[in-house]
Structure 1
Amino acid sequence: MKSAPLNPIKVLAIVGLFLFASCEKEDAMPSAQFNETEETSQEVDLNSVMEDVDEVTLSGFQRSGFANRTLVSMEEDLCEKVNIEWFPNLKKMIIDFGAGCTSPRGVTRKGKMIVTYTGRYWTPGSVITTTFENFYVNDRKIEGIRVVKNEGFNEREKFFSFRITMERGKITWPDRTFRTVESRHVRHIFLPNGDRGIVYKVLGGSKGKNRMGNDYLIEIKSPLIYMERCIRSGIRVPSAGILSLKIPSREEMIIDFGREVCNMEVTITRGGETKTITLPRS
């Protein structure tokens, strides 16, 4: 029996449907999706949580009288229910937020931070290592090993220098998506000057996988500036500084935090196009 000849129009229609389905599937793949606002929010979210972790660690040292109080005293933001256990013989501290509590500035934390140290916080050469046990900040689960090394005091410019690393870092959001991070940063903490309060200057970079599973690379092009007065008002976005964010097969994205203003606005440039966005509060 002879086969009926194929109708050219039908063949083209079938091929078209196949190509359409293939393109649709490709567009649905994580690597094909990119959103500048989402990428920026992820990075800012991660950085603000890490800054919070470091501040909680310092607050623990201050409460235990092991932070050289005469040099710098940070205004702590811990809830009343937090339990800080001190084991001086083991050079260890456990900061336990239990099932969760909210600080005066509205930060909700739960779980434990386990801190080991070689010396006082502000003493040059001290190494402070923080790990986490079912620890959450504003419903974001934090994992990894945070190491802070005091590299001394700059007499001329009046700042302490800390070298900070994050190994096997991971932040997981309530929808179970996550971002991994390996980072190398240098943080300068400037002594208060008049009404200015404490100022942080952060340099360095990081890498990992974003919430879509894509590799990313971050480089701080201009130091990120965090100001105590902004943090006190609940704004943990850098007040100044510029980041470069690179994802394979995508154009480089430049994130500009402005010029030392306490707000949630950032300017994003990619592919010759620039836009200003307001980041959501955590």
Structure 2
Amino acid sequence: MKNLKTTFCALFSMSVLFNSCSKDEVVKATDTNSIVASATIDGINELDFQTGTQVTFENALSKSTQKSYANTLVGACAAISIDNVSPTIFPKVITVDFGTGCTVNNITRKGKLKITLSGLVSTPKSTMKIERENYFVNGMKIEGTIVYVNETTTPNVPQWSRTITNGKLTHVDGTIYYNSGTHTIKQTEGVATPLLITDNTYEMVSGNHEVSTENGTKVTLSVIEPLVKKYSCSYISKGKLKVKSTLLNGTIDYGNGDCDNKLTFTHENGLVFNLTL
């Protein structure tokens, strides 16, 4: 993300020519790489949701906790444990322990995810709570609790609300980003094959996300085109977010569906920046 800090400094320096911002305002804004942090947070939240979905799918109805996770997003190096193996007993707690480092698709995670189920994740009104315990993704410490509530009303379109509380990302350079928000998530592909999760696609169809830093700067991001996350891809591959802050206003575009870590930010003055997470 350090190279992105340089990019955003350039962005704000160029923006001042268009917006006649004061030097102090530009300096304050350059400290808010919150846009990049928010995109990173969204990606990690989706990754953790899919991790929860996978281990729930493979453990909650099984009497065995000995699973092979090779070639999956969890990885063979993660240890999975479950507090009870009876498929009819809830709540149920599943722990995913990535140890001191587990790498899948160039994403290295360490620490634990604690996943608490009030019922099967596919059951209306059931909840899945994801808690992070000394949890790191590619060197960044990720904190906070995510609660998913099944709000499905149409059986062939599963839907969840996702609420993040006490969200906190500590970058490898020590910068801290606080975050919170609520979104609606829908499953748009793979519903017809409930015993197969690798063909699943999820879309964040609405909601807002707020990211702030210790110096008080704040960015609000709102879904304007659904963010698409395929189970088979580690990144959000499509969709747009509206960005609103004191100076940096515009649109994040995740692309047209390619599985990559690329996105663009278009400032309201027309400047376009190609970014890499």
Q: Deviations over 1:80-115 (max 9, x none)?
A: 232222113652222212222223x23211111112
What is the alpha-carbon root mean square deviation over aligned residues?
2.9
> In the TM superposition, what are the counterparts of 1:229-268 in structure 2 within 5 Å?
229=232, 231=233, 234=234, 236=235, 238-248=236-246, 250-268=247-265
What letter is aligned with 1:168? N
Letter paired with 2:77: K
Q: Give the aligned partner of residue 219 of structure 1.
A: 222
Contact persistence 2:228–2:237 (CA under 8 A): yes
CA 1:101–1:129: 2 relative to 1, 3 Å: same
What residue number does 2:211 align with? 208
**Deviates further, 250-259 or 164-173:** 250-259
Query: Which protein shows a greater Rg?
Result: 1
Give the whole-Å Cα distance in 2 for the aligned partners of 1:173 and 1:32.
18
Identity %: 23
Distance 2:145 2:244 in 1: 24
Tell me the SS of whatever aligns to 2:50.
helix
Deviations 1:207-260 (A, max 9, x none): 13047641111111121122334x1xx4x1x32222111122x15221122333
- Tell me: higher relative CO, structure 1 or 2? Use CA pairs within 8 A at least 6 residues apart: 2
What is the CA–CA distance in structure 1 between the aligned matches of 2:143 and 2:203, rounded to whole Å? 24
Deviation of 1:116 after TM superposition, in Å, equals 1.4
Q: Secondary structure of 1:49's partner?
A: helix
Unaligned stretches of 5+ in structure 1? 1-25, 68-73
Tell me the equivalent position of 1:64: 59
| Separation in structure 2 between the aligned mates of residue 259 and residue 84 of structure 1, nearest angstrom | 35
CA contact (8 A) 2:34 2:212 kept: no
Q: For each residue in 1:11-61, what CA deviation from the matched residue of structure 2 results, as whole angstroms up to 9, or x when unmatched?
A: xxxxxxxxxxxxxxx6498524267xx444222211111111111212221
Q: Which residue of 2 aligns with 1:78?
A: 74
Q: Kindly tell me the number of residue pairs found equivalent between the two proteins.
A: 238
Partner of 1:9: none
Residues 184-195 of structure 1 mapped to structure 2, 5 A cutoff: 184-192=182-190
Looking at structure 1, the residues matched to 230 and 115 of structure 2 have their Cα atoms a distance apart, in angstroms, of 25
TM-score (norm 1): 0.74
Gaps of 5+ in 2: 1-22, 63-68
Change (3 A) 1:190 1:179: same
C-alpha contact 1:257 1:265 (8 A) present in aligned 2 = yes
For 1:264 and 1:197, locate their aligned partners in 2 and report how far apart those are by CA, in whole Å.
20
